[in-house]
């Protein structure tokens, strides 16, 4: 775990946007790290219990920014936004820690999960046989997952601008770390699927405190 904390300390420009937007921050944490969080993403955070007290406490911060628009993908020119909280049945950690954390850790952030039956070796053989040029599409329904071994082979020529935002990779902390010198930050921090498999399971209040200390 110390290795992961050190990694995120070194990649703080990835860590802060993800935590600001997707972690259930408390009023105390907002006060404690007020000068470090990305407030446009905080304003868009669906897991903060935006009571009148919290809104009043951070009124100046919130008035200075527009809420960040997080787009999963675009279908026929229409942006698809994430909806992690039901408009009519919201749940916050203040309502009950055990129930909330069970709910939050079970959420699938991003859009798609790679099926366990995905034949990575078969796809690699096909790509090699036909020397295919990969055409990446950010619409999940029109794209196949990209084999990690293929990325290793062609990492110097692949379009990392697109890959950094791409859902169909074998996202994990190890995967993120392996290609850390190639990710495009502005695109990566839009990628909720990357957050889901590379950071979410490690996150808790203690982990955040150690990274931000």
pLDDT digits (tens, 9 = 90+) for 36-45: 999 999 999 9
Nearest to 35 by CA among 60, 69, 4: 60
Torsion sign over Cα 35, 38, 39, 42: negative
Asked if 203 and 24 count as a contact pair (C-beta separation under 8 A), the reply is no
What pLDDT is stored for residue 126 in this prediction? 64
45's tokens: 């955070």
Domain assignment of residue 170, yes or no = no
pLDDT digits (tens, 9 = 90+) for 106-128: 999 987 667 666 677 766 676 66
Asked if 120 and 149 count as a contact pair (C-beta separation under 8 A), the reply is yes
Domain assignment of residue 46, yes or no = yes
Q: Please, which pLDDT band fits residue 88 given cuts at 50, 70 and 90?
A: confident
What pLDDT is stored for residue 75 in this prediction? 78
The structural domain count of the chain equals 1
Nearest to 101 by CA among 4, 23, 16, 27: 23
Domain assignment of residue 118, yes or no = no
pLDDT digits (tens, 9 = 90+) for 129-172: 655 556 666 666 666 778 898 899 889 999 999 899 988 898 99
Asked if 85 and 48 count as a contact pair (C-beta separation under 8 A), the reply is no
Q: What is the mean pLDDT of the chain?
A: 90
Asked if 15 and 8 count as a contact pair (C-beta separation under 8 A), the reply is yes
Domain assignment of residue 32, yes or no = yes
Asked if 37 and 13 count as a contact pair (C-beta separation under 8 A), the reply is no
Domain assignment of residue 156, yes or no = no
What pLDDT is stored for residue 67 in this prediction? 96
Average pLDDT over residues 170-190: 97
Domain assignment of residue 21, yes or no = yes
Domain assignment of residue 31, yes or no = yes
pLDDT digits (tens, 9 = 90+) for 66-79: 999 998 888 778 88
Range of 51's domain? 2-112
Domain assignment of residue 87, yes or no = yes
- Residues of the chain above pLDDT 70, percent: 86
Q: Does residue 191 have a pLDDT over 70? A: yes
Q: Please, which pLDDT band fits residue 94 given cuts at 50, 70 and 90?
A: very high
Fill in the DSSP letter of residue 178.
H
């Amino acid at each position: 775990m110390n290795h992961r904390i050190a990694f995120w300390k070194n990649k703080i420009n990835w860590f802060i946007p993800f935590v600001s937007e997707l972690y259930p921050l408390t009023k105390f944490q907002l006060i404690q790290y007020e000068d470090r969080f990305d407030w446009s993403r905080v304003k868009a955070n669906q897991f903060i219990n935006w009571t009148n007290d919290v809104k009043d406490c951070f009124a100046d911060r919130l008035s200075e920014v527009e809420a960040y628009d997080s787009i999963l993908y675009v279908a026929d020119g229409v942006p698809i936004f994430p909806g992690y909280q039901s408009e009519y049945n919201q749940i916050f950690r203040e309502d009950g820690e055990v129930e909330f954390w069970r709910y939050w850790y079970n959420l699938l952030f991003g859009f798609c999960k790679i099926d366990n039956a995905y034949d990575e070796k078969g796809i690699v053989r096909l790509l090699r046989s036909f020397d295919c040029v990969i055409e990446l599409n950010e619409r999940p329904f029109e794209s196949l997952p990209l084999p990690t071994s293929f990325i290793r082979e062609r990492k110097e020529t692949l379009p990392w601008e697109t890959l950094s935002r791409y859902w169909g990779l074998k996202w994990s902390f190890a995967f993120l770390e392996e290609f850390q010198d190639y990710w495009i930050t502005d695109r990566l921090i839009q990628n909720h699927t990357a957050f889901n498999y590379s950071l979410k399971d490690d996150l808790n209040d203690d982990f955040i405190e150690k990274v931000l200390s």
